[in-house]
């Protein structure tokens, strides 16, 4: 029975998998945040700055080389993180549960073969492309399997193949809010009894010139010199970051029945899309804040994915100023802007902080990030898309 008046089921985060420029796994990430580690590459793509993925032994989570060859980097990053999340939830290889586990992935894709593109662009720009040249080059030079690496839904497809998650498979696209909407809908389904357990995740590969070009169209790339998010001031932009993040979220009853321990409770996720052409996004953030219903006590904290994209980050900062008593952390400083993965990264780090009963230290020379005075009992994850979409999640302690 599903009725709008019936009590919503409680949902727990019971599995977390993270890979990023800081490394892999929960301990590595926690230590890196304590040590304020930041890994940026300022030379490979100069003047652009990226947070490259740490060196991973993909064999550990993607045992078949054949599977690895069928993927592009973003899919390998994501499939690896999904394996870590299943390990952390104690579900790796549990066919009974994996076969009915729902999956929602937030993804982009669209990787190019840069050499093939360059050949065609050169010929074309020089007036050197006879009729049929374009078709001939693509027909002869494109790897057939590249298509499967370009398709957004093939990260979920690879997770199904490699890890056996097959209850359902849905892929949301659309940048930052794809991640927020993915976990929002997974949570709504669990609360309403439409789903018992879900794997939600995303992956982003920053080491792509074609992606830098896309963000460069909008002048969003941070150039020349790295600086923490709040220290960028009028320097517009973000350094894109590589990350794969997957979470296992399940109903409390389902977790208890299998003896799984929660990292944290996922209490609420809200999303919206402000008409940015109509003015400030602050009223939308205010409305989401009211909906999320955080207590705003000393044991509350905020993790924001603020990218550094000038106007929206300035507006988000003005919103955050209204809640000055609550310590804030911008994940973009250490991880870069991980776009589709950003909201889930914030949610994962919130759950990790709740589990540690400690907020990681401020990493901000401007002082906007204040040191926490109490152990966090609830953390609000905040996201403003660089171009579109706003979202918040409330992650809380279960006791």
Q: Which of residues 76, 189, 254, 268 is near other proteins by CB under 8 A?
A: 189
Residues 313-342, mask of contacts with other proteins (x by CB under 8 A): ------------------------------
Which is closer to other proteins, CB of 177 or CB of 313?
Answer: 177
In this structure, are residues 246 and 201 in contact, taking their beta carbons and an 8 Å threshold? Answer: yes
* Coil, helix or strand at residue 18: strand
Q: Which of residues 153, 227, 280, 377 is near other proteins by CB under 8 A?
A: 153
90: left (phi over 0), alpha (psi -120 to 50) or beta: left
Is 9 one of the binding residues for other proteins (CB under 8 A)?
Answer: no
Residues 236-275, mask of contacts with other proteins (x by CB under 8 A): -----------------------------------xxx-x
Which is closer to other proteins, CB of 136 or CB of 321?
Answer: 136
Is 139 one of the binding residues for other proteins (CB under 8 A)?
Answer: yes
Which is closer to other proteins, CB of 115 or CB of 371?
Answer: 115
In this structure, are residues 211 and 336 in contact, taking their beta carbons and an 8 Å threshold? Answer: no
In this structure, are residues 198 and 102 in contact, taking their beta carbons and an 8 Å threshold? Answer: yes
Residues 21-60 that bind other proteins (CB under 8 A): 48
The answer to whether the bond into 47 is cis (omega within 30° of 0) is yes
Residue with tokens 């070009």: 213
Q: Report in angstroms how near the CB of residue 398 gets to other proteins at its nearest.
A: 24
Is 70 one of the binding residues for other proteins (CB under 8 A)?
Answer: yes
Ordered DSSP codes for 307-373: ---HHHHHHHHHHHHTTTTS-EEETHHHH-B-GGGHHHHHHHHHHHHHHHTSPPPP--TTS-SPPPS
Distance of CA 173 to the CA centre of its chain: 12
Is 150 one of the binding residues for other proteins (CB under 8 A)?
Answer: yes
Q: How far apart are CA 202 and CA 183, in angstroms?
A: 11
Is 134 one of the binding residues for other proteins (CB under 8 A)?
Answer: yes
Q: How far apart are CA 293 and CA 272, in angstroms?
A: 16
The interface region with other proteins, picked from 54-62, 125-133, 298-306, 361-369 by CB under 8 A, is 125-133
Count of residues engaged in binding other proteins, rule: CB under 8 A = 82
Is 138 one of the binding residues for other proteins (CB under 8 A)?
Answer: yes
Is 286 one of the binding residues for other proteins (CB under 8 A)?
Answer: no
Is 94 one of the binding residues for other proteins (CB under 8 A)?
Answer: no
Q: Angle, to 10 degrees, between the axis of helix 133-141 and the axis of helix 114-125?
A: 170
Which is closer to other proteins, CB of 251 or CB of 353?
Answer: 251
The interface region with other proteins, picked from 20-28, 149-157, 260-268, 342-350 by CB under 8 A, is 149-157
In this structure, are residues 266 and 195 in contact, taking their beta carbons and an 8 Å threshold? Answer: no
Question: For 351, phi and psi rounded to 5 degrees?
Answer: -65, -40
In this structure, are residues 241 and 23 in contact, taking their beta carbons and an 8 Å threshold? Answer: no
As given in the structure block, the two tokens for residue 391 are 């979202």
Q: Which of residues 35, 60, 64, 124 is near other proteins by CB under 8 A?
A: 124
Residues 200-239 that bind other proteins (CB under 8 A): 209-210, 212-221
Is 165 one of the binding residues for other proteins (CB under 8 A)?
Answer: yes
C-alpha dihedral (351, 246, 344, 149), degrees to nearest 10: 170
Q: Report in angstroms how near the CB of residue 346 gets to other proteins at its nearest.
A: 16
Which is closer to other proteins, CB of 55 or CB of 275?
Answer: 275
Which is closer to other proteins, CB of 34 or CB of 122?
Answer: 122
The interface region with other proteins, picked from 140-148, 260-268, 324-332, 344-352 by CB under 8 A, is 140-148
């Amino acid at each position: 029975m599903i009725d709008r008046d019936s009590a919503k089921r409680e949902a727990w985060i019971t599995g977390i998998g993270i890979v990023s420029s800081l490394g892999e796994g929960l301990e590595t990430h926690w230590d890196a945040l304590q040590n304020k580690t930041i890994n940026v590459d300022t030379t490979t793509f100069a003047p652009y700055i990226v947070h490259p993925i740490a060196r991973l032994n993909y064999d550990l989570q993607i045992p078949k080389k054949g599977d690895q060859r069928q993927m592009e980097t973003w899919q390998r990053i994501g499939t690896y993180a999904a394996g870590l999340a299943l390990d952390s939830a104690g579900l790796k290889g549990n066919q009974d549960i994996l076969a009915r586990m729902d999956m929602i992935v937030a993804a982009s894709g669209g990787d190019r073969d840069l050499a093939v593109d360059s050949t065609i662009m050169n010929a074309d720009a020089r007036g050197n492309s006879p009729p049929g040249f374009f078709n001939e080059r693509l027909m002869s030079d494109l790897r057939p399997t590249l298509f499967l690496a370009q398709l957004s839904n093939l990260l979920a497809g690879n997770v199904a193949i490699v890890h056996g998650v097959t209850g359902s498979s849905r892929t949301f696209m659309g940048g930052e809010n794809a991640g927020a909407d993915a976990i929002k809908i997974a949570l709504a389904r669990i609360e309403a009894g439409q789903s018992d357990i879900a794997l939600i995740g995303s992956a982003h590969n920053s080491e792509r010139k074609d992606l830098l070009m896309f963000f460069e169209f909008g002048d969003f790339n941070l150039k020349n010199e790295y600086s923490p998010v709040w220290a960028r001031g009028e320097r517009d932009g973000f350094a894109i970051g590589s990350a794969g993040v997957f979470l296992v979220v399940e109903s409390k009853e389902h977790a208890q029945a299998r003896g799984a321990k929660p990292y944290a409770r996922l209490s609420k996720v809200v999303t919206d899309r402000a008409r940015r052409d109509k003015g400030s996004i602050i009223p939308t953030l205010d409305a989401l804040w009211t909906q999320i219903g955080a207590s705003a006590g000393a044991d509350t904290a905020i993790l924001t994915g603020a990218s550094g994209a000038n106007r929206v980050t300035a507006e988000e900062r003005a919103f955050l100023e209204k809640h000055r008593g609550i310590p804030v952390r911008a994940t973009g400083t250490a991880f870069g802007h991980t776009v589709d993965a950003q909201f889930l990264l914030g949610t994962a780090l919130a759950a990790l902080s709740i589990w540690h009963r400690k907020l990681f230290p401020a990493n901000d020379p401007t002082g906007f990030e204040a040191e926490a005075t109490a152990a966090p009992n609830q953390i609000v994850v905040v996201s403003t898309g660089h171009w579109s979409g706003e979202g918040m999640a409330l992650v809380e302690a279960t006791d």
